[in-house]
Amino acid sequence: MKIKLFFIIYASSLIVGSCSKSSTDSNPVTPTTLPTLGVTSPASAITTTTAISGGTIVSDGGATIIARGVCWSTTSNPSIANTKTSDGTGAGAFTSAITGLSLTTTYYVRAYATNSIGTAYGNEISFTTSATIVLPTITTTALTSINSSSAVSGGNIISDGGATVTARGVCWSISTSPTTANTKTADGTGLGTFNSNLIGLTENTVYYVRAYATNSAGTAYGNEINFTTLQAPQPGTVYIGGSNNKFYALNALTGQIKWQYNGTSGFSYAGPCYANGKVYAGSIDSYLYCMDSLNGNVNWRFLAGNTGIESDPVYDNGSIYFGSNDDYLYSLNANTGTMNWRFLTGANVSTSPVVHNGVVFFGSSDSKVYAVNTSTGQLIWSYQTGAMINQSGPAIANGLLYVGSRDGYLYALDVNTGALVWRYAVNNISLEMSSPTVVNNIVYIAGWHDIIVGTSNKGSVYAINASTGQLVWEKYQNTGFGSSPIVADGKLFITNESGDLLAMDAITGTQLWTRTILSNGASPAVMNGIVYVGGGGTNYFYAIDAITGIDIWRFSISNSLFISSPCIITTASVKYSGESGMQQ
């Protein structure tokens, strides 16, 4: 019996082993081989010292391509032991720039690819470098950022002509065909694109511009472009819109009218902004207007729905951003008024946007804060607050975004992710109407009314530590503020719902002076020691001494409310508070 049992076990083992071996043989492992290359790309763009070639890797041989490029020599069958390029990894096509050659010389070239097995080569080609050095080939970049005294251009050097480009830039003149004997920039050496800053220009003047590139053969010039500089803005101009369908430009020192535009609806809700000789303002008729800052002529206007514009526009890098009561945030080309894109929210966008590092930030009455890419109009992040964000435009400082909401909270969000860093509760007081302002790590914001009672004006002015969210001081309890604070020279200025303009010490909150102007929620702006603000109930627009609170001048318009904030420009700067929340 023992012998029989042993035989059965032994025979079974043979059967099992036989089955296992058969299974392995049915799934053979594919061996790894050298890569397979297609043809080596014929040489092109041949100069005295450079050429272009490349190749295509048809198969990686079952292992990752860890190096690829072309190798060359003055003798046949070059290898990677000779001079070579390194043009990345992986299979597919690639292009190689061959440099450091000698003129009138024949070179032999092969594409190569390396995997863990070794290096494979493509077919061999040959070419001969040019016999002479020629001028570089260059194009001139279109002008941008044109103002009264400067502009930006540049160029692109496509070929160095067979010798190193030792100088490049742009040259310009008030006559055609400028050369390097005229005014020029010096913007480095070598091939490729470059940017050039044209400075010291004269206002309202036609200039002719050409890019240039110099090598040992001489200097070559790109195509000629002409442009006209802007006329410098008149010093000391205040721009403000009224509910009487008029938009005004006033002398900032005297209050005398410079020009006025007669529209079809009021400009009293959205404050204007200025950029590059143009003033942008939204109207109740749902148009955003672009006007010449010197004479009020309308360059263009853009219709944003049919429900009116209350959002202050903001200019950044050639575009205008603003919200509309049709629930969209718009991006327009600032020069032409054509729409770049628009972003749909869940309710009206009365808040004014802020642009920072290629992102536009804004709030909506749908209770959300949005971060949108300025180039594409695509959402980056959004944050849901507890209630609507009416006209509280966000402010940005030290990597945080600050915004107020009707839910009675001031929020501090991470500007990159939208994550909540902290929030400060103001005891059921709405913060929806006041844009925060951040100065010296203090966030200033004001409350409007009691959330529970509704119309009762019970808000305060708050100073909150921007880093920790801790209260620094609170003043004017049970007053009510529907405007945004502005800080200048250590003083905080704001209007309340009782119609007073208040001046406070920004550090302590101590009142310095007060004026009754019946402001109706208008936010002030400050420049050169003067507070500019509208008195909607008195039908006056005021210029008030920031230290004493005494009128410097006031501009009278019958039957008009000044609820929006002004924009003031001088030759040195532009100032506006608006509802953007930023100290401009």
CATH of domain 237-576: 2.130.10.10
Please report where in the chains the tokens 């002398």 appear, as a residue: 251
The pLDDT value recorded for residue 233 is: 56
- Neighbouring CB atoms inside 10 A of 200's CB total 7
- The two tokens of residue 255 are 């209050």
Give this prediction's pTM: 0.62
Does domain 36-128 fall into CATH 3.30.70.260? no
Within 8 A by CB and 6+ apart from 29, the residues are: none
Distance, in Å, from the CA atom of 81 to the CA atom of 452, rounded to the nearest integer, reads 82
210-242 burial by CB neighbour count: b if 16+ within 10 A, else e? bbbbbbebebbbbeebebebbeebeebbbbbbb
Q: Which residue ranges does the chain devote to CATH 2.130.10.10?
A: 237-576
Tens digits of per-residue pLDDT, 527-575? 888 999 988 778 889 999 998 899 999 998 776 666 778 998 876 666 6
Within 8 A by CB and 6+ apart from 32, the residues are: 61, 62, 63, 115, 116, 117
The pLDDT value recorded for residue 489 is: 86
Distance, in Å, from the CA atom of 502 to the CA atom of 519, rounded to the nearest integer, reads 11
Q: Give 215's pLDDT tier (boundaries 50, 70, 90).
A: very high
DSSP bridge partners of 314: 321
Give domain 137-228's CATH number out of 2.60.40.10, 3.20.20.70, 3.40.50.720, 3.90.850.10: 2.60.40.10
Tens digits of per-residue pLDDT, 6-47? 333 333 443 334 333 344 445 566 789 999 999 999 999 888
Q: Which residue ranges does the chain devote to CATH 2.60.40.10?
A: 36-128, 137-228
DSSP per-residue codes, 416-466 = TT--EEEEEE-SSB--SS---EEETTEEEEE--SBTTTSS-----EEEEET
